[in-house]
Amino acid sequence: MADFSMDLNEDQLQIQKWVHDFAENVVRPAGREWDEKEQTPWPIIQQASEIGLYSFDFVTQCFFDPTGLMMPIASEELSWGDAGIALSIFGSTLGVAGIAANGTTEQLTEWGPQCFGTPEKIQLAAFAVSEPDAGSDVSSLRTRAVYDESKDEWVLNGTKTWITNGGIADIHVVVASVDPGLGSRGQASFIVPPNTPGISQGQKFQKMGIRASHTAEVVLEDCRVPGHCLLGGKDKLDEKLARAREGKRSSSQAAMKTFEGSRPTVGAQALGIARAAYEYSLDYAKERKAFGRAIIENQAIAFKLADMKTRIDASRLLVWRASWMGSQGKEFTAGEGSMSKLFAGETAVHVTEEAIQIMGGYGYIREHPVEQWHRDSKIYTIFEGTSEIQRLIIARAISGVHIR
């Protein structure tokens, strides 16, 4: 078991600098361009692939870091550069997380590398859970998966929404209901391989922030996937369904198991945005003169920055704790993963708003990046579980009461 330490080891420090340099020299200079284009930044993903940042090998290295800190460190640094581009680079990782959480080692070995492709042939992955009438309520998914025993195929039908890389991904990991009567206990995850007939992109969303990240509907119409594309295999699914029908408690749910592991990393992304805004507004406050002195000499400004820094550091501690607990296989008995995502997401919104306030009118115009960072930050109180859902999870965990 790796001891928890605030001192990063040599490998982590090297990764931190490597990703920060890429964020500083490549990502941040391109952030405004791709935010305005609202398109997937393929040239940036290409560069990330060429240096090994966008790769299954790098994600595997992060997943096997015994402290659990390497992925949140990389996510914070890349999002410090630009959150939309960071999601375009790391968005495929959520698909990998879905495979790792619900699939077999053999399935991860087969499909994990295909989520990224190679520098010569870039590929993307998507994790498709949310639906038009089932966002936070994952127990109400209507997308169905029906087994065709004669062909050993699963037939998927339904519509997914708010999907990162949705429709443009080569590998889609889709959560569907195989027994609607069992709610979330009757769900399973499936790989939809590249060029599978019956899967298509629906509406592409025009968003307030993270606009360099592609978000769209995924439409499944009699989409047939081979039996081996059921993550975990049919024997495991049949056993899980049998237990659920007998009223026995299930140890995990297809969607929630993935989100539990990814929430600290999402919190790290929010942390990167907050840190960028804090650093920018701190530099501005030192240089901006009003009434004959730098504005940071005024308590009204200095205290804002003190609070911003305190919340950022507290967020990082929560993210690192949850990441370390996850790597050690420790159960989140108090909703620690949700705590990290909740606090970091709300910190990003607060800090970016305060950064705009410190800069006044300059913070509100596009000449400076803080207005974009504020737009980017808001999604972190919404996706992968709203702040309200995170509080619900924490409240249930600490009370043992099924709070509604």
- Supply the pLDDT for residue 6: 80
- Supply the pLDDT for residue 259: 62
- Supply the pLDDT for residue 134: 74
Task: Give residue-wise pLDDT tens across range 111-128.
Answer: 999 999 999 999 999 999
- Supply the pLDDT for residue 308: 98
User: Dihedral (C-alpha) 225, 226, 229, 232: value to the nearest 10 degrees?
Assistant: 130
Q: Which residues of 372-387 are buried (b: 16+ CB within 10 A; e: fewer)?
A: bbbbbbbbbbebbbeb
Residue 391 burial (CB < 10 Å; 0-12/13-18/19+)?
middle
Report the distance separating Cα 53 and Cα 19, nearest Å: 8
Q: Is residue 217 flagged as an active site residue? A: no
How is residue 6 written in tokens? 């605030």
Residue 133: is its pLDDT beyond 90? no
Task: Give residue-wise pLDDT tens across range 246-304.
Answer: 887 655 555 555 566 689 999 999 999 999 999 999 999 999 999 999 999 999 999 99
Report the distance separating Cα 398 and Cα 64, nearest Å: 29
Structural contact between residues 91 and 124, judged by C-beta atoms closer than 8 angstroms:
yes
Band (pLDDT 50/70/90 cuts) for residue 164 is very high
What average pLDDT score do residues 220-233 get? Answer: 97
Phi (first) and psi of residue 351, to 5 degrees: -65, -40
Residue in the structure block whose two tokens are 């077999």: 104
Residue 2: is its pLDDT beyond 90? no
Q: Which residue among the candidates 76, 131, 354, 384 is catalytic per the annotation?
A: 384
How is residue 23 written in tokens? 């964020």
Report the distance separating Cα 254 and Cα 266, nearest Å: 19
The percentage of residues in the chain with a pLDDT greater than 70, rounded to a whole number, is: 95
- Supply the pLDDT for residue 260: 66
- Supply the pLDDT for residue 324: 94
- Supply the pLDDT for residue 310: 98
Q: Which residues pair with 171 in a beta bridge?
A: 125
Residue 105: is its pLDDT beyond 60? yes
